[in-house]
Structure 1
Amino acid sequence: MMRADARRNYDRLVASARAAFAELGADAPLDDIAQRAGVGNATLYRHFPTRQALLEAVFHDHIDALCRRAGELMSAPSPGAALREWLSALIAQGSTERGLAASLLAALGEDGSSCRVAVFDAARGLLARAQEAGDVRPGVPVEQLFKLVNAIALVTETEPDAAGQAAALLDLIFHGLTPRP
């Protein structure tokens, strides 16, 4: 259990990091984040020894929500539609604010990070189910699918019709993923 003052510092650091990552991207200076939170660098590093740990804390709730949604979609009647819906939610999550897509990608970027493991496991389950149903061609690596989806989030985040543009690009991806007779 965290002391009350330590919890306040932790919460302020996460809020400040969220704002800084949205404004400046995943490479926002950690010193700036500590200053925004009104704490010293030592406090920041005591709570978050690495940038990756801070990114994961910022996106923890988002990642949990995506993983829960993937679990719900595992029993959807159309596996291909379920995968597409989940990827659309991932894109939407990354493009809610300018710069967030790059930060989310960074949070998912390190092999072995808890966020990456959770999201990739969720995606693998949905992808395997869609492949078994014949909705997605075999041999599509989840890592490449993630790169495509993150690219969509990055290129559409500043578009006036970001959701519409993202949906159109996701349609193109799914056209390429669909098995041909």
Structure 2
Amino acid sequence: MSGAQERPLRADAARNRARLLDVATEVFTTRGVGVPTEEIARAAGVGVGTLFRHFPTKEALLEAVMVRRLESIAAQSAQLTADSEPAEAFFACFRLVVDQSAGKNEFAQALAAAGVDAQAALQEPSKAIRAQLAGLLVGAQRAAAVRPELGLSELIALLVGTTTMMEQLGADPAARQRMFEVIFDGLRPR
């Protein structure tokens, strides 16, 4: 059977795959990418053979976790856009992207070290997020909630910098909240 006509996963296999991705996301984000795959399989309640049937290498698992995270950000951003006023949606999405990007750099570095082109795998979900950010930015600017001179490339640079800064702060929720307040204040028009 060709790759273009792969059969859908059985229900139990789909559940195992989803559980593995959930556990791997949590473990890699909280403990780093150095955690052995055997430990992830054990935490997910499956055998290591099941893990390797879904993800033949640790890099394939890391890549799947990154793709899933970006797809989740894209879906949540779309929901924010549909459910909220432009300004509220913009700032909520900014916070979402920063919060959901924890550990992303470590994932990308691990994949690059293994010779995996993460950019290719992440191209589609990254495009979707970029398009949503562009729409959110324009909507917030039209609502006079964000500086009109801010461009999309500047917004993305600010998101990347904020993510790095938040990683330096660690898990201190009060410090994180202060940083969001400072950044959001700077984004608002004078």
How high is the TM-score relative to the length of structure 2? 0.64
Q: Quote the residue 1:42 is aligned against.
A: 52
**2:162 alignment partner in structure 1:** 149
Aligned residue in 2 for 1:123:
133
| Structure 1 vs Structure 2 CA RMSD | 3.5
> Which one-letter code corresponds to 1:101 in the other structure?
A
Measured after TM superposition, the shift of residue 22 of structure 1 is 3.1
The count of corresponding residues between Structure 1 and Structure 2 is: 166
Deviation at 1:179, TM superposition (A): 4.0
Secondary structure of the corresponding residue to residue 110 of structure 1: helix
Partner of 1:97: none
> Does the 8 A contact of 1:137 with 1:179 survive in 2?
yes
Q: In 2, Cα distance between the equivalents of 1:172 and 1:56?
A: 30
TM-score by length of structure 1 reads 0.67
How much does 1:89 deviate?
3.7
| Alpha-carbon distance change, 46 to 88 in structure 1, aligned in 2, over 3 angstroms | same
Counterpart residue identity of residue 102, structure 2: A
1:9-24 mapped onto 2 (5 Å cutoff) = 9-24=16-31
Aligned residue identity for 2:62:
R
Please name the residue that 1:158 is paired with.
Answer: 171
Give yes or no for contact 2:71–2:125 (8 Å, CA) kept in 1.
yes
CA distance in 2, matches of 1:155, 1:33: 26
Q: Secondary structure at the match of 1:138?
A: coil
Distance 2:55 2:36 in 1: 13
Q: Partners in 1 of 2:92 and 2:11 — Cα distance?
A: 40
8 Å CA contact retained: 1:105, 1:150: no
In 1, distance between residues paired with 2:89 and 2:42? 43
Unaligned runs of 5+ in 1: 95-99
The Cα of 1:85 is off from its aligned counterpart by: 2.9
